[in-house]
Structure 1
C-alpha cells in the first residue's frame, strides 16, 4: 500500500514543476536561436536569459502556493488543474514582464518570451495529465488508497458510500459503518460494507484499522456527539469530514461565509455577488452591446423597413419582464405580431402557427432578429448579454409555486442568451430543465463561461425550430 504523504508529494511537485520549466526554457531557447526555423539574432548571452528564466520559475512556485496550486487535489478534476496552471503562469508572466520593464531589459526577445510561456503552459498540462492518468490507473488497481470510516448508516451515509463506489479513480475505500441505531443494513442495502460497531467504539476502530479519514454522516439529533468524535480523530491524526444532514438543500459547492466572527454556510454561492466580477461583467456588457449595435445596425434597419411594409402599427414592442432582484422592466423586441390587447400578450404563450403572428414576424422570430433591440436593454442596465431569460410577471407567479428554486434566477441580471438556450431549451421546452441550466450558470459563472455561451450561440446558429 502506498501511503500518501502530502508534504513529500508537494516537494516532488515543486521540483517537477521547476524541472518542467527548465526544459521548456531550453526548448524555447533552442527553437528561437539555434534551430534555424526562426530568426536567430541574439544580442544577449544565454546567462541573461537563464537569469530571467530562473526568476520566472521561482515566481511561478510562489504564485502556485498563493493560489493553492499545491494543495491536495485528489478530489479535484483535471479541469481544475488546467485552470490553476493558466492562473499561475499568467500571473507569473505578467510579473516577469513588469520586472523586465523596471530593469529596462529591452533586448530580451519578445518572440522567445511568447514561445517560452506557450511551451511552458503546454508542457505543464501534459506532464500533469500524465501524472493524473498514472495515479488514476494505480487507484483503480487498488494502490494509493485512502481508507475511510463512515459514521452513520442512514440515507446520508449510504449516499456517500454509493458515491465512493461510482468514482474508483479517486482511490477511496470504506472500511465500514458505525451506527447507534442498527447493527446491519436492511435487505435492499445488502451490497454495502458492514456496520462494524457503534459510534462509542470509534476509538477502538481507529486503533484497530488504518483509517485516513472519518466521515460524519450522522443525523442532526446526534450533534452533541460531534465534539467528542472530532477530538478522538484528532488525537490519532485522522482527518474528519462532516456531511450535513441537510446536504440535499445545499448547492454542489456551498460557500462558507463569516459574520462577526461566526462561520455561516452560504446556501447559494453566486460568483456575481463579488463586486469585481459584477464590474467585469457589466463592462463587457457595455462594450459588447455597443459593438453589436454597430455591427447589426444595417440588419435592424432592414427589419424596421420589413415591419413597416408588412403590417400597420409600431415597429418596437415592449413587454414587462421580471429581472434582477425581482424588479420589473420593459423589454424591447421588434414587433412580430398584429396589434392586440396588452393583457393578452402578457398572459398567453405563443404557440406554433399562432394566428397573431405576421408573416414577416414569423421570419424574424425564427431567426431571432426580433431580439436585437434588447442590446439597448443591456446598455441601460436592465439586462446582460448572457444570463437567464426574463419572464413575464404573470408566469413568474405561477412558476415560483410549481418549479423548485425558480426564483433563484433573479439573483442576477437576465440575458439575451443563456446556458439553457444554447442547449436547445428555448420556446416550447421544459421550464424545469431551463431552471436547472440557469442555476448551473449562476453558481458556476466565469467570464470565460460567458464567452463560451456567446460563441455557442453564434456557431450553433440563431435559427430555432421552437421559436414560434
Structure 2
C-alpha cells in the first residue's frame, strides 16, 4: 500500500515539475519576444523551440531525480528543498547548454537566462505548496510513518518529544521498548511502553513498523550488537541516536571524512562561504560607516583633545576570536591615570570619567573608532562584545559555555546589546543571547541588528 502511494506522490511531483517547466519556457519566450527587449534578428517561429522544450522536459526532471528531489525525505526543511532545487536547476541548465551546442539547436541566450529564473521560481513555488499541503495532511494524522523506539530513558524521551514536536514531517511513535521490565505499561509523553527490549521481534511481527530508532544510553550499548543482528534480518529502516547530546555544545553534528562517519561535538559556526560572506559584509559596511561618520569622529576627537589632558584614542587589550587578544580602539572617556590601581569594570556614575567622556559613553560615540578594528579584521560589526582577559578567567569558571562566545569575532554591537544587555547587566543572560546569535547567525540577522542599533539600540539606560 505504502509503495503504491509513494509512486503516486512521485508521479504527481514529476508531472507538476514538467508543467511548471513548460509554463516557464512559454513565459520566457513571451517575455523575450514581447517587445520589452529589442529584437535584432527577428522573432524565431515557436516551432523551432519545440526541440529545446522537449530537451528541457527530459533534462530537468532527470537532474531533479539525481538530486533525490523525488525521493521521500521528510526531514528535509523548506530551505533545504529550495537549495536543492536551485542546485539542480543550475546543473540541468549547464547540461542543456552542452546538449544544445552538440545538437546544434538554435536558441536565444537571453531566453535561456529568463527561462532559468522562471523555472526556479515556479518549481520552487509548486514544491513549497506541495510540501505545505502534505504537512497539513500529516498534521491531521494521515500519511504517517510508524516508529518503534528502543529505549525508554531520557534519550528515548527526547526522540518522542522531537517526533511529536514535528508532526508535519509525518512520523508517529507507536510504542517504546524498555530495558527495565517494571516500566512496561507506563507512558512516556503519552506513548506507551509496550514491551521489553527482548520482545523486539514479537512486536515487529504483531504490528507494522516503518522505522526502528535505537535510543539507548552509553551504559547500555552492549545490547546494540544483539539488536542490530536481529533487525538485520528485517526490511524495517533502522536509525541510531547516539547518547552524546549531553556533550554537544555548539554546531555539533554528523560529518563524513573519507567515508568515515564522525560525530562532531563542538564545531566552528562559520566556515567556508559563511566566513567569506561575513568578512565581505564587514569590510563593505565598515568602510561605509567610516565615510559617513568621519566628520563626527573628527569633531569628537577634537572635543576629547580640548577638554582633557592626554591622547584622543584609548587602546585596551580585549579577547577576540579563538582566544586571541587585540587592542580595541575607543575615544578616551577617562582620565589618563584612571587605572593606576588596577583594572575595573565600567560602572554607573563612574568617577574616572571626564566631562566629555560622560556624553560620549551615553551616546556610545566612544565606540566609533572600532570600525577600524573591523576593517583590520580584529572585530566584526556584529558579534559578542569583547571582554578584557583579566575578567574572562573568572567568567569562564563561573559561567558554563562562556568560552563558546569566542568561536566568532567580537562585535561592535550584538544581539544582547540591542536587547538592553549592556554594562553591569546579568552576565549569564548576555551569554545566553550571545550563544543564540552564534547558533542562529545569518547576514540578514546581522543587518537586522545593525538597523536596530542605528535606530537607537545603543541608547540604553545601561550605556555608561
Is the pair's TM-score, using the shorter chain for normalization, greater than 0.5?
A: yes
Alpha-carbon deviation of 1:316?
0.9
When structure 1 is superposed on structure 2, of 74-83 and 145-154 the one drifting more is: 74-83
Q: In the TM superposition, what are the counterparts of 1:396-435 in structure 2 within 5 Å? A: 396-435=392-431
Structure 2 Cα separation of the partners of residues 269 and 99 of structure 1: 42
**What residue number does 2:19 align with?**
19
Structure 1 Cα separation of the partners of residues 300 and 150 of structure 2: 65
Q: In the TM superposition, what are the counterparts of 1:187-336 in structure 2 within 5 Å? A: 192-251=190-249, 254-257=252-255, 262-274=260-272, 276-336=273-333
1:142 counterpart = 2:141: yes
C-alpha change, 1:208 and 1:22, in structure 2 (3 Å) is same
Which secondary structure state, in structure 2, belongs to the residue aligned with residue 466 of structure 1? Answer: coil
Post-superposition Cα deviations, 1:159-197, rounded to whole Å, max 9, x if no partner, equal 32233333332222222111121343697x576322221
Q: Judge conservation of contact 2:214–2:239 (CA < 8 Å) in 1.
A: yes
Q: 2:364 aligns with which of 368, 371, 387?
A: 368
Which secondary structure state, in structure 1, belongs to the residue aligned with residue 327 of structure 2? Answer: strand
When structure 1 is superposed on structure 2, of 309-318 and 85-94 the one drifting more is: 85-94
When structure 1 is superposed on structure 2, of 41-50 and 326-335 the one drifting more is: 41-50
Post-superposition Cα deviations, 1:55-102, rounded to whole Å, max 9, x if no partner, equal 667665566566665554422332333444455546766888999999
Q: What are the ranges of 5 or more consecutive residues in structure 2 without an aligned counterpart? A: none
Structure 1 Cα separation of the partners of residues 58 and 337 of structure 2: 69
C-alpha change, 1:124 and 1:441, in structure 2 (3 Å) is farther
**What residue number does 1:381 align with?**
377
When structure 1 is superposed on structure 2, of 406-415 and 95-104 the one drifting more is: 95-104
1:131 counterpart = 2:127: no
C-alpha change, 1:138 and 1:183, in structure 2 (3 Å) is farther
C-alpha change, 1:344 and 1:415, in structure 2 (3 Å) is farther
Structure 2 Cα separation of the partners of residues 371 and 245 of structure 1: 45
When structure 1 is superposed on structure 2, of 128-137 and 73-82 the one drifting more is: 73-82
Provide the aligned C-alpha RMSD in A: 3.9
Structure 1 Cα separation of the partners of residues 459 and 299 of structure 2: 18
Structure 1 Cα separation of the partners of residues 333 and 102 of structure 2: 59
Post-superposition Cα deviations, 1:394-416, rounded to whole Å, max 9, x if no partner, equal 22112111221111122232222
Post-superposition Cα deviations, 1:266-316, rounded to whole Å, max 9, x if no partner, equal 112324344x54444444434443343233322221221232333332211
Which secondary structure state, in structure 1, belongs to the residue aligned with residue 239 of structure 2? Answer: strand
C-alpha change, 1:326 and 1:222, in structure 2 (3 Å) is same
C-alpha change, 1:393 and 1:367, in structure 2 (3 Å) is same
TM-score (norm 2): 0.83
Structure 1 Cα separation of the partners of residues 411 and 191 of structure 2: 48
**What residue number does 1:439 align with?**
435
Structure 2 Cα separation of the partners of residues 429 and 103 of structure 1: 69
TM-score (norm 1): 0.82
Which secondary structure state, in structure 1, belongs to the residue aligned with residue 221 of structure 2? Answer: helix
Structure 1 Cα separation of the partners of residues 340 and 51 of structure 2: 73
Q: Judge conservation of contact 2:152–2:188 (CA < 8 Å) in 1.
A: no
C-alpha change, 1:434 and 1:186, in structure 2 (3 Å) is farther
**What residue number does 2:30 align with?**
30
**What residue number does 1:356 align with?**
352
Q: Judge conservation of contact 1:255–1:267 (CA < 8 Å) in 2.
A: yes
Structure 1 Cα separation of the partners of residues 87 and 228 of structure 2: 35
**What residue number does 2:171 align with?**
172
